Structure formats: structure tokens, C-alpha cells
């Protein structure tokens, strides 16, 4: 006997044998549902049961751990007793997806009008060890892979905090609590050179502040004493979504200096204006060459900064970014 499973919100349907798990049937027919351990332990595949009934060979651990398991099911372990309607987002397709560990969206919070703070939680057995400053590739629900810097030093719970700039190419609807996405990485080599006693200059544009949050958190935790200067460029004052945190760090730590820079400042703004890298060059003058410089932000900003910084005397060896400047 076979039954029909209807997925919401996609509306896709597949058949499942009475002795087959929902996940096995879906994968057999080319439908990629969220999956992790496939043993009912991690809870990555958790879905909502809209209609129908299922049974399990043994009560799955992940379902028992839910505060309210009613109305939920685990496709990796559930077998059908009837036709089913379940609510779950597909995670895309392709061989590369199978190699990327899953991660559940556990928090989505607005940081600015067009920036979200998104927390991804991978299973403990599939954590992604990373170094502050690195980034990950996220296989989103629309099938598109997007890269995001990790906006925090490594955490005990292995959660990944991302700053997501939303817009036409990355809509807010992609980020829903409970969704499961595939995450690959970490990638990138932009890391503070702790062994060097030279001062560090960090230049961020927009949500490019994210890796520097991670790098600064790690630097403070490690007790780094080298001078750390951060110039953060955004368009308007309301885009400085981490200003209070950064100002508090600057007030608490003698070796950290923070300068916000606006490119579309109002008449009331009394701070730096223009490009963040231009403000840093103006402030430092001849002292720029003493610094190791780290740059993160939109490619146009990084590629604009590179020749200007070199013209101001910076050595190419002291320029660090995971976005290659033009000509490199």
C-alpha cells in the first residue's frame, strides 16, 4: 500500500510506501527535505503535521525533547498510516548540498531597516569549527548559495550568527525561524595576526562589519593589547546598527578606537563623512604605513580602497581582505 504526501507551502507531492520513512521516499523521488542525523536524534528534519497520521518503530528522541510535540513529526523516522499533508521547506538539490551540514534557523531579529541578525544552529555532531573573520556559504530555500561572514567569535553552542542585508536579491522571506538550511565552510583567510605587535586598522562598509565583530570579540577574549582601530562606513546614521556596542567597547578598552563614517550624512552629522578608508587615511596620515589593514564590505568598496591605500603608502603585503582587489 502506498500513500500520498503533500508538502506545504510548495504544493509538491510524492508517494510513500507504508513501510517506508517519509524522508527515504522523498529522497528517492528527488525531493530534498531537511535532514541531519536521519535517526530521530538531532531534530533537524522536524516538520508540522497538517493532516493525516504517522507512526514510528520507536519513539524518536528529538520529538520527545520538544516542549509540545503535538502536531509535529520527524520525516526521517515517521512512516505513514494515511495520506499526509506536512509543512516543511525543501532545502534545494544537487550533489554539493549533500556534503553541506544542515543548520536550523533559531532566531531572526531586525538590526536595521535592511539588515537582519540570523542565528543558525547546526547539530552538535556537525558543528563547523571556524576562526573569527571567516565566512560560510548558505544554501538558501530558493536554491541559491549565498556567502555571509560569521558575526561573532566561536561559541560553545556552535551557533553561527550572521548579518543578512535584505533586498531584492536576498528577500527577508528566506529567513524564517524553524527553517533548515545547508551550510558549507568555513572559508576565508582574513584573520588578525596576533603574533605581530603592529597596530591593526579595520575598515568596514555596511554589513561588512560582521567579520570584524567576530575578530574584535576574539581579540578582547584573548587579551590582545595591540592598538585596534575600526572605521565603519554606512550611508545614514540609522544604518549604524552596532554603534552603541562599538562605542561601549571603545569606552571600556584603551586599545580600541571606533570611528563611524557616513556617505549620505545629514546636516546635523558632526562626524566623519565619505568613504571609511578615506577617513582613516586622513586621520592617520603618515602613520598609516605602521598598520596592518583589514577591509570588509561590498566588492566595489574593497576594490576602491585598495589603490587609494597603496597610494597613501600602505604595502600590498599589509592589505588583508577575502575580496580580492582588482589586479590581484
d(CA 301, CA 37): 41
The confidence band for 264, taking pLDDT boundaries of 50, 70 and 90, is very high
Q: Please tell me the CATH code under which domain 200-320 is placed.
A: 3.40.50.80
Which residues lie across from 313 on neighbouring strands?
none
Tell me the pLDDT tens digit for each residue of 42-86: 666 778 899 999 999 888 877 775 544 468 888 988 999 999 999
Q: Which CATH class is domain 2-87?
A: alpha beta
pTM across the whole model: 0.73
Check residue 290 and report its DSSP letter: G
CB 82 within 8 A of CB 52: yes
Burial class (CB in 10 A: 0-12, 13-18, 19+), 108: middle
Tell me the pLDDT tens digit for each residue of 285-299: 999 999 999 999 988
Q: Please tell me the CATH code under which domain 95-187 is placed.
A: 2.40.30.10
Q: Where are the domains of the chain?
A: 2-87, 95-187, 200-320
The yes-or-no answer to whether 2-87 and 95-187 have a common fold is no
Tell me the pLDDT tens digit for each residue of 171-214: 999 999 988 888 988 888 888 988 899 999 999 999 999 999 99
Mean pLDDT value of segment 302-315: 93
Structure-block grid coordinates of residue 134 = 571567516
Amino acid at each position: 500500500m502506498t500513500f500520498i504526501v503533500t508538502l506545504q507551502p510548495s504544493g509538491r507531492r510524492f508517494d510513500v510506501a507504508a513501510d517506508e520513512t517519509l524522508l527515504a521516499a522523498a529522497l528517492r523521488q528527488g525531493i530534498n527535505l531537511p535532514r541531519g542525523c536521519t535517526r530521530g536524534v538531532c531534530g533537524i528534519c522536524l516538520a508540522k503535521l497538517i493532516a493525516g497520521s504517522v507512526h514510528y518503530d520507536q519513539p524518536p528522541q528529538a520529538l520527545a525533547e520538544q516542549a509540545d510535540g503535538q502536531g509535529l513529526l520527524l520525516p526521517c523516522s515517521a512512516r505513514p498510516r494515511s495520506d499526509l499533508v506536512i509543512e516543511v521547506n525543501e532545502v534545494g538539490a544537487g550533489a554539493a548540498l549533500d556534503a553541506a551540514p544542515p543548520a536550523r534557523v533559531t532566531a531572526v531579529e531586525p538590526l536595521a531597516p535592511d539588515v537582519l541578525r540570523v542565528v543558525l544552529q547546526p547539530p552538535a555532531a556537525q558543528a563547523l569549527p571556524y576562526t573569527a573573520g571567516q565566512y560560510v556559504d548558505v544554501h538558501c530555500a530558493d536554491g541559491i548559495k549565498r556567502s555571509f561572514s560569521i558575526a561573532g567569535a566561536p561559541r560553545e553552542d556552535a551557533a553561527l550568527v550572521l548579518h543578512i542585508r535584505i533586498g531584492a536579491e536576498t528577500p527577508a522571506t528566506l529567513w524564517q525561524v524553524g527553517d533548515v538550511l545547508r551550510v558549507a565552510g568555513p572559508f576565508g583567510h582574513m584573520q588578525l595576526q596576533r603574533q605581530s605587535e603592529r597596530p591593526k586598522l579595520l575598515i568596514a562598509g555596511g554589513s561588512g562589519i560582521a567579520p570584524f565583530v567576530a575578530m574584535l570579540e576574539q581579540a578582547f577574549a584573548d587579551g590582545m593589547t595591540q592598538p585596534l582601530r575600526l572605521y565603519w562606513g554606512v550611508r545614514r546614521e540609522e544604518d549604524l546598527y552596532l554603534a552603541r556596542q562599538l562605542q561601549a567597547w571603545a569606552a571600556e578598552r584603551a586599545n580600541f578606537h571606533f570611528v563611524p563614517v557616513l556617505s549620505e550624512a545629514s546636516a546635523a552629522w558632526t562626524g566623519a563623512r565619505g568613504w571609511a578608508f578615506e577617513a582613516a587615511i586622513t586621520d592617520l596620515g603618515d602613520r598609516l604605513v605602521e598598520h596592518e589593514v583589514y577591509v570588509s564590505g561590498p566588492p566595489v568598496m574593497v576594490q576602491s580602497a585598495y589603490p587609494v591605500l597603496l597610494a597613501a603608502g600602505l604595502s600590498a603585503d599589509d592589505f588583508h581582505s577575502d575580496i580580492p582587489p582588482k589586479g590581484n
